[in-house]
Amino acid sequence: MAANPFEERWWLGTDSPFQLLAACLDLSDALELDDPTSHVSHIAVHQDGSCNGLQHYAALARDVRGAEQVNLLPSDKPQDVYIGVAHLLQDKVNEDLESDDDETRELAELCVDRITRKLVKQTVMTSVYGVTFIGARDQIHRRLEEQENDLALFEKTPPEKIWNMSVYLARHTMACVGDSFRGMSLGAFCALLFGG
């Protein structure tokens, strides 16, 4: 295929045809050498970060605890900050199940089986970019509505309860992110960045 790509056209039907073609041409060039391992490839290697904004924040703040959660420090297995925050959020909800306040306890009961990685991911990701409480609430509200759409009709939660849950979960989620990244206050972080 690399020798005659327009006769061997199967690569055109792939998801990223020109990336595949480039890789095939590069591999062909390597295999033509006596020592293919001496070939210098210029193919870009795409590497996604682990919540890049929080990686930068943790690195600049020298926040060891935060750095561990976004894979900036060696670990036996990859870390997932979104699952970490979801677990902290579940802990907060579990604490509220014992609350003396009826409204808090009722909200916690409604949230028990709803805490997922997907529920918190967007809020965690945008926290470093200055998401407001209202923005976090709206993000979580959309995830809760998606969960509702997956349920059978007779199990639906009233819309006003979904709204109250989104307020409750947004408050706790933002607190969990703060608990996870403690290396430096936001003010100190800004002073580091802007020399203030």
DSSP 91-119: HHHHHHTT-S-HHHHHHHHHHGGG--HHH
For residue 85, pLDDT over 90 is answered with yes
What is the CATH code of the structural domain delimited by 52-194?
A: 1.10.150.20
What pLDDT is attached to residue 196?
46
What pLDDT is attached to residue 47?
75
- Model's pTM, two decimal places? 0.71
For residue 165, pLDDT over 70 is answered with yes
What pLDDT is attached to residue 71?
93
Confidence of residue 52 (pLDDT cuts 50, 70, 90): confident
- Tens-place pLDDT, residues 180-191: 887 545 554 455
In angstroms, what CA-CA distances link 174 with 16, 114, 157, 162? 38, 17, 24, 18
- The residues of the chain that CATH labels 1.10.150.20 are 52-194
Whole-number CA gyration radius for the chain: 24
User: Which residue bears the tokens 């062909």?
Assistant: 28
Identify which of 123, 125, 139 has the alpha carbon closest to the alpha carbon of residue 57: 125
User: Which residue bears the tokens 């969960």?
Assistant: 147
Decide: residue 144, CB within 10 A, 0-12 exposed, 13-18 middle, 19+ buried. Answer: buried
DSSP code for 36: G
Residues 28 and 2: beta-carbon distance below 8 Å:
yes
For residue 142, pLDDT over 60 is answered with yes
**What contacts 71, CB < 8 A, 6 or more positions away?**
50, 55, 78, 79
